[in-house]
Structure 1
Amino acid sequence: MAEQTTQSNRVDAQKLDPNMKLEQTGELGLTWLSPKEQPFRLSGFPWFHQDGVYRRLPLSPGHEIPPAVNQLANSTAGGQIGFRTNSPRLAIRVELAGKAGMYHMPATGQCGFDIYLGEPGDQQYFGTTRYDHTQLSYEVVLYEFPHAEERHVTLNFPLYQGVKEVIIGIEPGSRLEAPLPYRSNKKVIVYGTSITQGGCATRPGMAYTNILSRRIPLEFVNLGFSGNGRGEPEVARVLTEIANPAMLVLDYEANAVDLELMRRTLPEFIRIYREAHPNVPILVVSKIQYAKERFDPVLLKKRLDMKRMEMETVDMYRRQGDANIHFFDGTALLGTDSYNECTVDGVHPTDLGFLRMADTLTPMFKELLKGELESA
């Protein structure tokens, strides 16, 4: 009787709600194309032309980087595929490097793709891959319209898993063209933490760097390394190799275990990058507020001490004549009154939190990138 009661109380929403059913594709009869080939545009993988893999750092860095950072570089956060097509159907096949396995972040954010339709400046969310998260591969129809019509497509890569292979399916005989170009060939490089990487967005397009990329028509490179972006000088040297930087954002305070580590790494990171790129804007962003700071004065003091140190570092460089280094106070990134309602666990933002972060950062980014946006 107890077993029967348990079975009768079990809820399987995927069977009860048609909007939650998994994709059943079967034989689609599409033409399958690799985004590694033209006219597709791959963004967010600075070393793709060299290594040919979906990875955020080089396969063989010229400097020895921490093993955890090297592993996390295989997460495809910030990667994008752009193209135009008049195909009335669009599908995607994905082979993942691993399965979803986090307790506080949906599989759609960890391992899924999402799709935006529209030209830069008017990219609108359309859908997310619906797949069996227990599997290492999936095939999903992204859209199916009754008529052929040219559409500008942006696909966002998974945030917390690696992608071994991805191919795009279109209707046979349909056109495929390059996307509209970026405003310039410069890249916005954002280095930081799990929050930078996109934890814990429900889908890739809601990572704050991806939101910003829809507002600022430049390529964004997401170099958030969950729990392991700690300002190592070796990583700074690797970052100097990224060609055509428009701006470098340093958002790694949350990974610095103590004030001494931040004091040791931040000035050196800036010095290394500045030697290679003397005029590129550098923006130092301090950490968001954590929910527990309301109740833990030690935690609050640590954040305030860190912020003060970051401000002092930026002021030091500016006094030495570096007018292209700036500081952004991250205290209000999630808002001032209800910031503790914008996270999954008191630390990692929800989609609402990421949207608030992007809203708060957008004016600063546009101001520092004004030269790139106006010169086109």
Structure 2
Amino acid sequence: MELDVPYESAGQRVTGWLDPGPFLRGVAWLDAEGRPVRADPDDAMRLPWDTGERANLPIGTRVEFTARGASAVRIRYRARVPGPGDALGELAHTFALWEGDHLVRETAAEPAEEGFVTLQLPRSEGPFTVHPPESRSPVVLGLRAVGGTISPAPRGPRWLVHGDSITEGWWSTRPAHAWPAVAGRALGLDTVNLGYAGGGRGELPTAEQLARLPGDVITLAFGTNCWSRIPFSATLMHETTLAFVRLVRRGHPATPLLVVSPLLRPEAESTPNALGATLAELRGAMEDATRALAGAGDTALQLLPGRDLLSAEHLMDGLHPTDEGHARLGAAVARALGPHVPKPPRADSRGLRDSQR
């Protein structure tokens, strides 16, 4: 039996589909049209243009549900249709069904102004996670069960993860392989991915938005774009880290907060930028600032030094991790966060295995 629950969509009453809202995870804000976005739409004018552009992509947004007697779940969606010459036109538009750490199946569907995809379910109740494709900004319009019922999966503690393209998941082959997704699965968290490719430069309006956004645990993993894209000195990096964390703390005075300093970037480690700072010096300044804040009494603030988390073999282009690099980074972050989150970690998760190899 398929469910016949109406919901409102674009001003029209549509029957036969469940409202997707209770099933969506990884959602930070909604824009005026009800679409998930990753920066506060009421505060967009203070953000750099590149951050604003990336924030419109639904990175990390996913569907989570349990099933009873259902043989499949059907997802109704809207996605941007690529035009002639679109650089992303050849990318597969794939919906991935996961159960825990296990990829159950991937199903391709054409991007369309309105379409649906059907994902066959295994003979279990889940919980299941569906990762939609991200490159064409799909919006989930509704869900329905085939042959049974589906219900929203229980929500885990909310994890706000801010960073740059590495946090956004660049060079991971699937959204579920990005390090925030890996760590979030391991710890049972509702991961909210606030990584902005090209951004993550300690923008203080972003810190103020994080302060206003509800969250149970927070991770800051930025800094590599402060070497070249917008060059920082070591002094500027130190003061920016202090200011950023202090602003976040205005809204989250005692929330567990983990700072991950920049990962290895071979070309930048000993090469001075336009202001004479190497990435090693910028990393040291961020770590010194974090230790100073913790030493001044912020007992919920932790530091994870990033330099030795990955080696050059885990970098696809000298900067962005491979899938294995994302897995190792996710494992390291999960181990650091594990003692500070409300739920016990899943000991069987890849997100906690092999991070020290």
TM-score (structure 1 length as normaliser): 0.75
CA distance in 1, matches of 2:305, 2:260: 6
Equivalent position amino acid for 1:188 in 2: W
Amino acid at match of 2:180: T
Query: In structure 1, the residue corresponding to 2:127 is in which secondary structure?
Result: strand
- Which residues of 2 match residues 54-73 of structure 1 at below 5 A? 54-61=36-43, 64-73=46-55
Partners of 2:81 and 2:221 lie apart in 1 by 27
CA-to-aligned-CA distance 1:104-147 (integer Å, 9 cap, x gap): xx935xx5432112xxxx442112232458x77764432266xx
| 2:119 partner amino acid | L
CA distance in 2, matches of 1:349, 1:159: 18
CA contact (8 A) 1:193 1:226 kept: yes
Q: Is the 8 A contact 1:112 1:204 kept in 2?
A: no
- What residue number does 1:358 align with? 330
Structure 1 residue 176 corresponds to structure 2 residue 111: no
- Over 3 Å counting, the alpha-carbon distance change for 1:45 and 1:305 in structure 2 is same
Name the SS of the counterpart of 1:158 in structure 2.
coil
- Please tell me the residue identity of whatever aligns with 1:345: D
Counterpart for residue 62 of structure 2: 80
Q: Which residue of 2 aligns with 1:94?
A: 77
Structure having the larger proportion of residues in helix: 1
Report the equivalent of 1:142. Answer: 119
Task: Provide the C-alpha distance between the structure 1 equivalents of 2:239 and 2:88, rounded to a whole number of angstroms.
Answer: 32
Q: CA deviation at 1:331?
A: 1.5
Within 2, Cα distance between the matches of 1:205 and 1:152? 15
- Matching of residue 46 in structure 1 with residue 28 in structure 2: yes
Q: Deviations over 1:65-101 (max 9, x none)?
A: 2222222111111112111223212343432236473
Partner residue, 2:158: 187
Change (3 A) 1:272 1:151: closer
The answer on 1:344 being equivalent to 2:316 is yes
> 1:45 offset after TM fit, Å?
1.0
Instruction: Name the amino acid aligned to 2:343.
Output: L
Contact 1:259 1:302 (C-alpha < 8 Å) held by counterparts = no
Q: For residues 58 and 91 of structure 1, what CA distance do their matches in structure 2 show?
A: 30
Give SS of 2:280's match: helix
* Paired amino acid for 1:67: W
Determine whether 1:238 maps to 2:209. yes
Partner amino acid, structure 2, of 1:258: P
Cα distance change, pair 167–200 in 1 and its aligned pair in 2 (3 A):
farther
- Per the alignment, residue 19 of structure 1 pairs with none
Q: 2:12: which partner in 1?
A: none
Distance 1:93 1:65 in 2: 32
Contact 1:113 1:204 in 2 (8 A): no
Whole-angstrom distance in 2 between the partners of 1:211 and 1:94: 25
Q: Is the 8 A contact 2:31 2:41 kept in 1?
A: no
Per-residue deviation at 1:35?
A: 4.9
Structure 2 equivalent of residue 107 of structure 1: 91
Q: Does 1:196 align with 2:167?
A: yes
% identity of equivalent residues: 23
Is the counterpart of residue 269 in structure 1 residue 249 in structure 2? Answer: no
**Residue 219 of structure 1, aligned match among 181, 190, 197:** 190
Task: Name the residue aligned to 1:156.
Answer: 131
Provide the rounded CA distance (Å) in 1 between the counterparts of 2:115 and 2:211: 36
Inter-partner Cα distance in structure 1 for 2:94 and 2:53? 19
- Measure how far apart 1:211 and its partner are: 0.9
Query: Max radius of gyration: which structure?
Result: 1
SS at match of 1:129: strand
| Other structure's SS at 2:182 match | helix
**CA–CA separation in structure 2 for the residues paired with 1:136 and 1:350:** 32
Q: TM-score, normalised by structure 2?
A: 0.78
Distance of 1:373 and 1:136 partners within structure 2: 39
The answer to whether structure 1 residue 285 and structure 2 residue 256 are counterparts is no
8 Å contact kept, 2:62–2:131: yes
Deviation by residue 1:48-77 (Cα, 9 ceiling, x = unmatched): 498621212232227722222222111111
Which residue of 2 is the match for residue 333 of structure 1? 309
2:103 corresponds to 1:125: yes
Unpaired stretches in structure 2, ≥5 consecutive residues: 1-14, 345-357
Tell me the secondary structure at the aligned position of residue 60 of structure 1: helix
What SS does the corresponding residue of 2:278 show, helix, strand or coil?
helix
Match of 2:295 among 306, 319, 344: 319
- 1:250 aligns to what SS in structure 2? strand
Q: Assess if the C-alpha contact under 8 Å between 1:87 and 1:149 holds in 2.
A: no
SS at match of 1:266: helix
Query: How many residue pairs were aligned?
Result: 319
Residues 181 and 273 of structure 1: CA distance in aligned 2, closer, same or farther (over 3 Å): closer
Note the 1:25-36 alignment, pairs <5 A. 33-36=17-20
CA distance in 2, matches of 1:160, 1:358: 22
Alpha-carbon distance change, 91 to 344 in structure 1, aligned in 2, over 3 angstroms: farther
Is 2:230 the partner of 1:255? no
SS at match of 2:220: strand
